[in-house]
Structure 1
Amino acid sequence: MSILQVNNIETFYGGIQALRGISINVNQGEIVTLIGSNGAGKSTTLKSISGLAKVKSGSILYKDKAITNKPAHTTTLLGMAHVPEGRKIFSTLTVKENLLMGAFSVNKKNLIDQRMEMVFEYFPILKSRIDQKGGTMSGGEQQMLAIGRALMMNPELLMLDEPSMGLAPIIVEQIFDIITKLNKDGMTILLVEQNAYQALSIAHRGYVIQNGEIVLSGKGSDLIENSEIRDAYLA
């Protein structure tokens, strides 16, 4: 069953067209990845879905409900969580305070506590750093915190923008292991990545974007074997 449908959207920054008729589909329970070079339109696609970038034309449906150009806080309340590129944690707040920011719409303390314990199950390091300020943590720990903050919303769809950016290879492996585990536990994931091999290795399906257009799509395993993809992104 489709949880997200993006239909022929076009998005501009001023007079510059960033997306040119982008259409993607994400089914419930899938990991779907969007790969491409810098400036191809990957991040803009996520921002258009979550309401952070204004769509000029086309439509976006989440669980068959129109969400085109809905404010970001509205899409969050519907069950979507967007972890932006660069992590964007609150550097002066502690780990606990950052996580609480992710539960801004939850009024029941016992529910907040349950979700925080769930986050700690995925990221035990965060529990040991609960009173540490986010800005003093390593890049990998900050990425874990950014994902943990999103999980506090208990999303059905988790959108991750470049979660491996700037991280050491061993930390990248840990992050992708967690993404896979989240998916096995039932979470649908839309993943934007420059690390094409890592992304396609765990994705059920993938889309390749160039200059704001989808130029290729297919199973993750098939795209890894595609000679054009290998030459452009996996060499």
Structure 2
Amino acid sequence: MLQLNNVETFYGGIQALKGIDVSVEKGEIVTLIGSNGAGKSTTLKSISGLTKVKTGNIVYKGSDITNKPAHETTLLGIAHVPEGRRIFPRLSVKENLLMGAFSVKSRQVIEERMERAFHYFPKLKDRLEQKGGTMSGGEQQMLAIGRALMMSPDLLMLDEPSMGLAPIIVEQIFEIIKELNGEGITILLVEQNAYQALQVADRGYVIQTGEIKLKGNGHDLITNDEVREAYLA
């Protein structure tokens, strides 16, 4: 479904990605783990068109999408839930969800997608008129994922969905990730909670200072001594 080939990305004169190769097959959960500043978020931004790729290319469903604008990658079926949720704090829950369906013209389709979001996140239905910025961190994360689901994506990219959340909410979020994947959504997951991520992932990549250092299936990486020492200790 997705292939990154020798991708290099810069922020000014600083190289953030140093020729990375990443693949995601249809129906998989693939995770990127690594420390802060390793290049995980930059990888997702490069895919979705928020950050320019200098060299290399990104192929999605057989088509080159390198440096395609973000609003166009969204229309191709790629939904990106960014680090820090990035909801619209002054808009209501309902308005935030509707922003996720900006390209949908059918009111019936919008209502069907909203009901799907409520299936995963029932709390949202009870808070439709509440301003997004007044919700708890866990509720905002639910809203951010719900907004992405309004796009009916084929590929869902999640950047640090567990950040700053209570353990019980983290468990809920990861259960929903597995459920979404079980219903056919391919997931690319960036996560500092390496143990949680590798438990649900089919495959994983370890990224350090913009380079892929290790890759393998989730179980093999969990039991890898280097990974355990660096990220699971």
TM-score by length of structure 2 reads 1.00
Q: 1:22 and 1:190 mapped to 2: Cα distance?
A: 15
- 1:39-75 Cα shifts (integer Å, max 9, x gaps): 0000000000000000000000000100000000000
- The residue number in structure 2 matching 1:37 is 35
User: Does residue 1:85 correspond to 2:83, yes or no?
Assistant: yes
Identity fraction in percent:
76
- The residue number in structure 1 matching 2:194 is 196
Deviation of 1:131 after TM superposition, in Å, equals 1.1
Q: 1:23 and 1:111 mapped to 2: Cα distance?
A: 36
- The residue number in structure 1 matching 2:147 is 149
- 1:163-222 Cα shifts (integer Å, max 9, x gaps): 000101111001001001000111000000000000000000000000000000000011
- The residue number in structure 2 matching 1:12 is 10
- 1:65-96 Cα shifts (integer Å, max 9, x gaps): 00000000000000000000000000011110
In structure 2, give the amino acid aligned to 1:138.
Answer: S
Aligned pairs (5 A) from 1:61-140: 61-140=59-138
Q: 1:81 and 1:23 mapped to 2: Cα distance?
A: 21
Q: 1:27 and 1:9 mapped to 2: Cα distance?
A: 18
Deviation of 1:130 after TM superposition, in Å, equals 1.1
Report the 3-state secondary structure (helix = DSSP H, G, I; strand = E; otherwise coil) of the residue aligned with 1:145.
helix
Q: Which runs of 4+ in 1 moved over 6 A?
A: none
Report the 3-state secondary structure (helix = DSSP H, G, I; strand = E; otherwise coil) of the residue aligned with 2:156.
strand
- The residue number in structure 2 matching 1:25 is 23
Q: 1:22 and 1:72 mapped to 2: Cα distance?
A: 21
Deviation of 1:156 after TM superposition, in Å, equals 0.1
Q: 2:104 and 2:212 mapped to 1: Cα distance?
A: 37
What is the RMSD computed on CA atoms of the aligned residues? 0.4
User: Does residue 1:52 correspond to 2:46, yes or no?
Assistant: no
User: Does residue 1:160 correspond to 2:161, yes or no?
Assistant: no
Q: 2:221 and 2:109 mapped to 1: Cα distance?
A: 41
In structure 2, give the amino acid aligned to 1:42.
Answer: K
- 1:103-124 Cα shifts (integer Å, max 9, x gaps): 0000000000000000000110
Q: 2:66 and 2:120 mapped to 1: Cα distance?
A: 32
Report the 3-state secondary structure (helix = DSSP H, G, I; strand = E; otherwise coil) of the residue aligned with 1:90.
coil
In structure 1, give the amino acid aligned to 2:87.
Answer: I
Q: 2:8 and 2:134 mapped to 1: Cα distance?
A: 39
Report the 3-state secondary structure (helix = DSSP H, G, I; strand = E; otherwise coil) of the residue aligned with 2:103.
coil
Q: 2:103 and 2:113 mapped to 1: Cα distance?
A: 13
Q: 2:109 and 2:47 mapped to 1: Cα distance?
A: 27
